[in-house]
Amino acid sequence: MIQTGKITALYARFSHDEGNSGHDSNSIANQKELLAEYANTHGFINHQFYTDDGYSGTNFERPAFQKMMTDVENGLIGTIIVKDMSRLGRNYLMVGQYTEIIFPEYNVRFVAISDNVDSAEGLSDLIPFSNLINEWYAKDISKKMRAMITQKGNSGRRLCSRAIYGYMKSPEDKEKWIIDEYAASVVRRIYELYISGNGVSRIANILRDEKIQRPFVYLYQKESDTPYEWTGATITVIITNREYCGDTVNFKTHKPSYKSKKIIKNPPELQRVFLDTHPAIIDRVIFEKAQNRYAKRCRKKKSKTKDTLFTGYVYCKDCKSRFHVFRHKARGNMIVSYECSGYRKQQKKCTYHRIDEDALKQCVLQKIKLMWYEAKSDIRSFKAKVRKRLNADETASRSKIQSEIDAAQTRIAEIDKYVQGLFEAKVRNEIDSDIFGSLSKTYTEEKAELNAKIADLILQENSAKDAYQKINRLYEAIEKYDSITELTPEVLSDFVDRIEVGEHLKGTKEQKIDVFFVGVGLMDTL
């Protein structure tokens, strides 16, 4: 049966991942040659190529494929010819839906040359198994690609393909970033504006009014109706990007599976940071100040209540919950107080902890002044104490931590290989389902433990690196002030990381207040 009145769609697809695997016969040129020869030999006329170059078979949002399906729905296509079933896709459920439901509904003949499939002669019962094998292949390719990316990322090589706003790739070495002076000046200005107290939306408006091109337009030189429309989200990305300090940050995001296109942000403990890999645009002290302000930000409430001095700083000493602000009148005056959110919750997971802002202000100011005075009196002795603290806290050397991370990752790779072998053995009926289930569960539990261990080790590694950066910020703050007479938001931000408040001691009005200073923690433990 030769259809002559409609288009014969010759569909070709090639993934660059497959190119790395050496499948030269799957190249677009070879597929098109094979498809054209088959169509001419078998009397198919009115050919039209639909080609997706560089698209995975698990992705059915390919532009040429979607164009072909639109033409199918409009009744323009009578026959679809592909080299083999895997060219149509590598998700066996989706491929089955197209070949067994959608194509027949639109009276479209489907031909897969290498697999000897022709819907005009009926579809074999073995086709679903062929589609399943194609999906396993896609899964295997994805696993190999992830392993390659993991190895590359752990070696310190940058995973992103493009330089971020403020940098450009070196003409001599595409792996290296050099500073783009114009864009870098914009980045520096953004940090200055933010540290000075401007919000992200305000900064976006300033840049728009000054007609500074937004990053997408500047980097890609794209025509746009809104070339200067900066957004608060763009500003946030810039002020929280550690790479502006000269560091490479790998594994910022991940996808749940090779089938999913959803991108999930990784927490800091799962990211890998490599210091001083390219020239810095932002000084580390300035970056830390920006992060401190960003971490202490408080979303505006519907009541538009203004933030208080200690918003974002105060936590419960016992349950570690953040303290909430509440205002109340006493003797005709409005009093600002803080109380444990763990107590305020319905289940009351904590006891009643409360402190007035005035009392907290006096206590924190006194502790800051004592620390500042000690450092100013003998800065060499103070720095010696700090170094002693850092050396004591660094219980494992960086090399030891990295060695443990490498060992855990090697074991995870072995487990993945063993599980794959178990699955293949089960398919070949060499082991029964009970043995497969038991061994698979054991390996899965071990892999989960190893991943948790890696996350903890990376957190230790990053904490050790960050401690030295925060210390420099504290030293700068000590030198910055000639005297400290009042507790301002700037003083609080420069010196204090967090404050923990305990409940009142029984029978007294006294309560324990711990002030954790930037980089050193509690001063009384120095």
pLDDT higher at 398 or 121 = 121
Q: At 297, is the secondary structure helix, strand, or coil? A: coil
Kindly state whether residues 108 and 228 are assigned to the same domain.
Answer: no
Tens digit of each residue's pLDDT (9 = 90 or more) over 426-450: 777 788 877 877 887 888 888 878 8
Kindly state whether residues 64 and 135 are assigned to the same domain.
Answer: yes
Mean pLDDT score, 56-69: 88
Banded model confidence at residue 153, pLDDT cuts 50, 70, 90: low
pTM, rounded to two decimals = 0.42
In a domain, 157, yes or no: no
Structure tokens at 466: 């960050």
The b/e string for 204-236 (b: 16+ C-beta within 10 A; e otherwise) is bebbbeeebbbbebbbeeeeeeeeeebeeebbb
Tens digit of each residue's pLDDT (9 = 90 or more) over 220-270: 777 778 889 999 889 999 999 889 998 888 877 766 554 545 667 777 767
Kindly state whether residues 189 and 283 are assigned to the same domain.
Answer: yes
Kindly state whether residues 99 and 240 are assigned to the same domain.
Answer: no
Kindly state whether residues 388 and 513 are assigned to the same domain.
Answer: yes
Residue 521's DSSP bridge partners are 517
pLDDT above 90 for 204: yes
What are the angstrom distances between the C-alpha of 472 and each of 181, 234, 468, 487?
Answer: 26, 28, 7, 21
pLDDT at 124: 53
Question: Percent of the chain beyond pLDDT 70?
Answer: 78
pLDDT higher at 275 or 456 = 275
In a domain, 195, yes or no: yes
Domain extent for 20: 7-144
222 φ/ψ angles, rounded to the nearest 5 degrees: -90, 145
Please count the structural domains in the chain: 4
Tens digit of each residue's pLDDT (9 = 90 or more) over 309-342: 888 788 888 888 888 888 887 777 888 888 888 7
Tens digit of each residue's pLDDT (9 = 90 or more) over 3-42: 457 899 999 998 765 544 444 556 888 899 889 989 988 8
Kindly state whether residues 377 and 409 are assigned to the same domain.
Answer: no
Mean pLDDT score, 154-162: 72
- Ranges assigned E (strand) in 127-217: 167-169, 177-179
Tens digit of each residue's pLDDT (9 = 90 or more) over 180-200: 999 999 999 999 999 888 889
Kindly state whether residues 207 and 321 are assigned to the same domain.
Answer: no
Structure tokens at 257: 């599976």
Q: Where among 295, 326, 355 does a domain terminate?
A: 295
In a domain, 186, yes or no: yes
Kindly state whether residues 289 and 322 are assigned to the same domain.
Answer: no
CB atoms within 10 A of CB 135: 21
* Whether 500 contacts 316, CB under 8 Å: yes
pLDDT above 70 for 405: yes
Kindly state whether residues 117 and 18 are assigned to the same domain.
Answer: yes
